[in-house]
Structure 1
Amino acid sequence: METIKYIERASGETKTENVPSEGMLKWLYSSASGKATLHLLFKRKIVSALGGWYMNTGWSAKRIPGFIQEHSIDLNEYEISNIEEYKTFNEFFYRKLKAGARSIGEDIVSPADGKILVFPTLKDVSSFFVKGSEFTLNSFLRNEELAKKYANGSMTIVRLAPPDYHRYHFPASGTASESMKIKGHYYSVSPLALRGSLEIFCENKREYCTLTTADYGDILIMDVGATMVGSIIQTYSPGQVKKGDEKGYFAFGGSTLVLLFEEGKIHFNPDLIDNTQKKLETTVKMGETIASPINPV
């Protein structure tokens, strides 16, 4: 497998991603023996449950200093900046930002820190992923009515790697529905696993809600779990929410947020479209503008 390149939005530079457990992921997702092991063991809940259990123990806290150093994480932007105050690795993993650590931009903003891909139409997905035709809204949403609603719409994928801030927020103000759960497995959402297909999104554990807005129509927000994600925790209450309000957080592991927009409602920012067309993700921070309305009310 080739290295994973991405664009750093702030500088415009092309960089190479440091993928945690890269060797094991390559084995699991690209070799015959690895794929057999993946289907027999790693996709199953018990593996992620055991991983989640360990990350909630005091023993796991010993991993924090090395993780911070390896990934150059700046704790000064978080509520708790003293490493000693984190009693478990999971406490550190879903750490909270300080108030005002992220500015909230105009229009539609990124719901999380991570790396983003944008698709102005669902047809664009197959041009990015080798096996994009395997990704269908019917299998992803498991709801025919919703699949029809977003069939000709737009989609963005925000991928959270383990070093990223793992709380996620609302991309716009509006009325949020209750969260609906879809049962599934626990495949990795690393780019090494996703490089071939988005089908993994249709098989992993996930939850979604609909955010009804004045300017952008109904935005569907899907939270996708992955290997070693013991929990998807929703911290919001259904009803009126403001852009930038916290929606929830993921426990340990890489995770993904998928946003679906109705047809004719939004424009993605040109730099994000250009980079995606070059088959490159772009780094984003929670609160950065990623799209604007076509016909604002």
Structure 2
Amino acid sequence: MIKYYNRKNKSYEIEQVAGEKILGWTYSSPVGMKLLEAVIKKRMCSSLYGWYLDRKVSKKKVNPFIHKFNIDISSAEKSVMDFSSFNDFFYRKLKPSARQIDTNNHSLISCGDGKLFAHENIDLDSLVQVKGFTYSLRELIKDQQVAEKYSNGSCIILRLCPTDYHRFHFIDSGICEGTQKIKGAYYSVNPVALQKVQKLFCENKREWSIFHSDHFGDVLYVEVGATFVGSIIQTYTPQKRVNRGGEKGYFKFGGSTVILFFEPDKVQIDEDILKQTKLGYESCVLMGEQIGVKESLLSN
């Protein structure tokens, strides 16, 4: 059972988890863990399932998934009948009116829909995965020089579960460099898995890039793949200016994670998110909503 904080209602709710029983069995039983290490975490397993979800035959899974998880399909650009496969539904685009993007340039907005943890004054060698498990930014991106820029800065960890909208966006106007790709495994990023696999984000397939934002400094974007995520697709054009809220990319099927790192003294995360993080609860957010402000505003 995963409990998260609903910012709008100021209440705690229980997350609906796709494949909850098999996920729990895989990461809690000896047989499940052996199967995980031998087969499930391997690229071939995710690639084969991803291949199936790209096929027309997988379209039959769309309606049951929508009904089981009460997904608001009215916000999608396409109708249910127009999806060509399950993956086509999974990484669906939304109507422009589906998400309200905070237009204040000094508001830090969420880059996507999902559940959010946030940390300030980060220690590069002891980033929090979950209570008791940490990892290093140097290990995560395999670039010590870039990592050093974010010492004592802030980071946000946005977890996209399979029922979420799976495109991720730019938090500001600016220019993004090219993407660096790091091969890895395909563990789940569900909290159940994060409590079992040490340095999970450093084990999984991931991609990173530096976004030169107009208002928040150089932001390090890290996209982490997960079980059955066949691909991380980057849709932006490197070195070309982008607008606030513009699309950066999307994940194919599976739960996934986007981690953003900010340099010191650039942002102040909203207090309710920091409080819930300290209590051990993720906060539910939507793409475009304010999750913080530009740091300089607080000192004026």
Into which bin does the TM-score normalised by the smaller protein fall?
over 0.9
Which structure 2 residues correspond to residues 48-59 of structure 1 after superposition, within 5 A?
48-59=46-57
Among residues 90, 96, 100, which one is paired with 1:99 in the alignment?
A: 96
Give the equivalent residue in structure 1 for 2:289. 288
The reply on whether 1:85 has 2:82 as its aligned counterpart is yes
Paired residues, number = 293
**Aligned positions of 1:178-193 closer than 5 A:** 178-193=178-193
Work out whether residues 220 and 260 of structure 1, in 8 Å CA contact, stay in contact via their aligned partners in 2: yes
Query: 2:129 touches 2:194 (CA, 8 Å); kept in 1?
Result: no
Q: Deviations over 1:119-170 (max 9, x none)?
A: 012249767723333x111111110101211122111000001111111100
Q: Does 1:120 align with 2:117?
A: no
Structure 1 residue 86: Cα displacement: 0.9
Question: 1:167 and 1:176, CA in 2 relative to 1: closer, same or farther beyond 3 A?
Answer: same
Give the aligned residue type for 1:217: G
Greater mean deviation of Cα atoms: 85-94 or 187-196: 187-196
Deviation at 1:199, TM superposition (A): 1.1
| Structure 2: gaps spanning 5 or more residues | none
CA–CA separation in structure 2 for the residues paired with 1:218 and 1:159: 22
Alpha-carbon spacing, 1:94–1:179, altered in 2? closer, same or farther (3 Å): same
Matched, 1:153 2:150: no
Residue 18 (structure 1) aligned to one of 4, 16, 30: 16
| Superposition pairs of residues 229-244 of structure 1, within 5 angstroms | 229-238=229-238, 239-244=240-245
Secondary structure of the residue aligned to 2:25 is: helix
**CA distance in 1 between partners of 2:196 and 2:154 (Å):** 21
Partner of 1:69: 67
The aligned residue for residue 139 of structure 1 is: 139
Equivalent residue, structure 2, for 1:207: 207
CA distance in 2, matches of 1:165, 1:210: 23
Query: Residue 70 and residue 281 in structure 1: after superposition, are their counterparts in 2 closer, same or farther (change >3 A)?
Result: same
Match in the other structure for 1:227 = 227
The answer as to whether partners of 2:153 and 2:264 remain within 8 angstroms in 1 is: yes
Pair 1:197–1:243, CA change in 2 (3 A): farther
Of 6, 9, 15 in structure 1, the residue corresponding to residue 7 of structure 2 is: 9
Q: 1:128 to 1:42 in 2, by over 3 A?
A: closer
| Partner Cα separation in structure 1 for residue 32 and residue 153 of structure 2 | 36
Q: Name the structure 1 match of 2:266.
A: 265
Matched letter for residue 184 of structure 1: G
Superimposed CA distance per residue, residues 72-117 of structure 1 (whole angstroms, 9 cap, x where no aligned partner) = 111111111x211112101100111112221111321111111101
Contact 1:130 1:197 (8 Å CA) reproduced: no
RMSD of aligned residue pairs (Cα, Å): 1.8
Specify whether residues 99 and 127 from structure 1 end up closer, same or farther in structure 2 by C-alpha distance, changes over 3 A only.
Answer: closer
Q: Which amino acid aligns with 2:292?
A: A
1:169 has 2:174 as partner = no
Identity of aligned residues (%): 41
CA pair 192-68 structure 1, distance change in 2 beyond 3 A: same
SS at match of 2:111: coil
Quote the residue 1:30 is aligned against: 28
Q: Return the alpha-carbon distance in structure 2 between the equivalents of residues 201 and 42 of structure 1.
A: 16
Q: What SS is found at the alignment partner of 1:49?
A: helix
